[in-house]
Amino acid sequence: MKLWGGRFEKPVNQIAEEFGASIPFDRRLYREDIAGSTAHARMLARQGIISNEDAEKIVAGLERIREKIDRGEFNFRLDREDIHLNIEAELAADIGEAAGRLHTGRSRNDQVALDFRLYACRTIGQTVDRIMRLQETLVNLAEKWHGVIMPGYTHMQRAQPVLLSHHLLAYFEMFQRDAGRFSDCYGRTDVSPLGSGALAGVPYPLDRDFVAAQLGMSAVSRNSMDSVSDRDFLVEYLAAAALCAVHLSRFAEEIILWSTGEFGFIELDDSYSTGSSIMPQKKNPDMAELVRGKTGRMVGHLTAALVMLKGLPLSYNKDMQEDKEGFFDASDTLITSLTVFEGMIATMRIKPEAMAKGADGSFATATDLADYLVGKGLPFRQAHEVVGKLVRYAIDHQKTFSGLTLVEFKEFSPLFEEDAMRITPATSMAARNTYGGTAPAQVTNAIAASRTLLDETRQWLNGLGF
């Protein structure tokens, strides 16, 4: 058990030591910790704060430690509390006295803030990459199945006919906003706090911009107290992740519904389904259900982060150690969910006939018939009532619009002519040719526009090194 310098006469209680240690989870920050220490050592030598010889020893020793961890040969020790002290102690054992000069001009407060920001930047890039892959699959499906008609829903009741492609691209738009939120978050995460010290800055002539440049970071923080206590980037990531998970969950709910015998719009691939332990006929959409279920965890991590921060005075407080586990779990869960979901929809079998039947047999063209009467001069509210009565008549007589005769139509309004009989789901969609509508021409344009947006996102990711 450790003693903290000369201030303490007793070692930390063993249970308290285990309670306070973060190495079981912050060990995954080792690459970022070593990168930050390497840049810091080079800057110290460049500024004449330590010798070039010591800096070279430190950098070489850190590289050996990184390789050792990569190989799985590093012994992470609980009594060294966190990733910083584990690496520092190993470095001291390797190169001796020079290791003690590495911590000149920094604190674990600004060190961990840097490590976490570097890790979060990398994670944001990975998250956006997975979102983009899902979006690409959506666009490919929209292009492949362009022309397939399905019922659109409001209140989970069949409402108006839409193209399946239009429906799929609605989710593209949701995920595009998600990618934008993560991109915005990246800009506020890509800031180096190193050089802030414990909270007040440091009395050494540091070159903070040099360190930031060495790490590929675009800016340095402006206020040392804010630097060590800021976890806004954590909250922003978790908020974006929770909303992205909600979008996945909404889509998962539809996949689950569409795969039921009651809908029969799709069949999930065997590789993304499971069976029942007792009912041989079952094919369960478990992956979609799990994605839907894991959304609660994501929302919970966001709530936990906000509650953890809400009562903290400036500047750093140990409460902030609770920032990482939720982030690690949320990012792991979201990236895995996106990966599984992309594979699931890429391999599902679309059933166009069932979708078309659903659109044709559900009075989905009722609004079009009302619009037809409006075109004949009838006020919309009156046209709405006429068609409502027509629907009631058809239901009572177990007919669809296509099963009614012109004589029956005229019983409800003399304005109906032969051309009213030619209103179909296809003509309904074609009529909705406004920007953003479900008309085939508009959806064709939307597919092209989506590919342009994907190209822009890819360029942004390439600029980050992904």
276 an active-site residue?
A: yes
Where residue 32 falls among pLDDT bands split at 50, 70, 90? very high
CATH number, domain of 94, equals 1.10.275.10
Is there a domain that residue 8 lies in? no
CATH number, domain of 135, equals 1.20.200.10
Mean pLDDT of the chain: 96
Is there a domain that residue 1 lies in? no
Cα 272 from chain centroid (whole Å):
21
Is there a domain that residue 458 lies in? no
- CA separation for the pair 323, 320 (Å, rounded): 5
Least Cα distance to 37 among 56, 58, 65 occurs for: 58
Q: How many residues does the chain have?
A: 466
Same domain, yes or no: 38 and 53: yes
What residue spans of 99-151 are helical by DSSP H?
108-144
155 an active-site residue?
A: yes
Place of tokens 């895995």: 336
CATH number, domain of 391, equals 1.10.40.30
Is there a domain that residue 197 lies in? yes
What burial class does residue 37 get, using C-beta atoms within 10 Å of its C-beta: 0-12 exposed, 13-18 middle, 19+ buried? buried
Same domain, yes or no: 152 and 269: yes
Same domain, yes or no: 189 and 290: yes
Query: Which pTM does this prediction carry?
Result: 0.94
Q: How far is CA 284 from CA 156, 268, 273, in A?
A: 21, 9, 5
Q: Which tens digit of pLDDT belongs to each residue from 323-378? A: 999 999 999 999 999 999 999 999 999 999 999 999 987 799 999 999 999 999 99
Q: Is the pLDDT of residue 1 over 80?
A: no
Is there a domain that residue 466 lies in? no
Same domain, yes or no: 251 and 118: yes
Least Cα distance to 395 among 422, 361, 419, 444 occurs for: 361
- Report helix, strand or coil for 464: coil
The answer to whether 427 and 372 are in contact (CB under 8 A) is no
From 324, 357, 390, give the residue that closes a domain. Answer: 357
Same domain, yes or no: 201 and 320: yes
Same domain, yes or no: 75 and 189: no
Q: Which tens digit of pLDDT belongs to each residue from 35-86? A: 999 999 999 999 999 999 999 999 999 999 999 999 999 999 999 999 999 9
From 342, 357, 372, give the residue that closes a domain. Answer: 357
Q: Tell me, what's the pLDDT at 124? A: 98
Candidate list 51, 218, 276, 402, residue with the active-site label:
276
Q: Which amino acid is at 171?
A: Y
Q: Tell me, what's the pLDDT at 420? A: 94
Same domain, yes or no: 165 and 294: yes
Same domain, yes or no: 138 and 153: yes
Q: Which tens digit of pLDDT belongs to each residue from 391-402? A: 999 999 999 998
- Specify the number of domains making up the chain: 3
Q: Is the pLDDT of residue 381 over 80?
A: yes
Q: Positive or negative CA dihedral for 387, 389, 393, 398? A: positive
Same domain, yes or no: 33 and 179: no
Candidate list 155, 221, 337, 384, residue with the active-site label:
155
SS3 for 308-338 is HHHCCCCCCCHHHHHHHHHHHHHHHHHHHHH
Same domain, yes or no: 343 and 436: no
Q: Positive or negative CA dihedral for 162, 165, 167, 170? A: negative
- The structure tokens listed for 53 are 């010889």
* pLDDT > 70 in the chain, percent: 99
The answer to whether 120 and 237 are in contact (CB under 8 A) is yes
Is there a domain that residue 408 lies in? yes
What's the domain range around 395? 359-445
Is there a domain that residue 174 lies in? yes
Q: Tell me, what's the pLDDT at 3? A: 45
Q: Which tens digit of pLDDT belongs to each residue from 92-119? A: 999 999 999 999 999 999 999 999 999 9
Is there a domain that residue 462 lies in? no
Same domain, yes or no: 337 and 437: no
From 79, 104, 129, give the residue that closes a domain. Answer: 104
Place of tokens 């309004």: 413
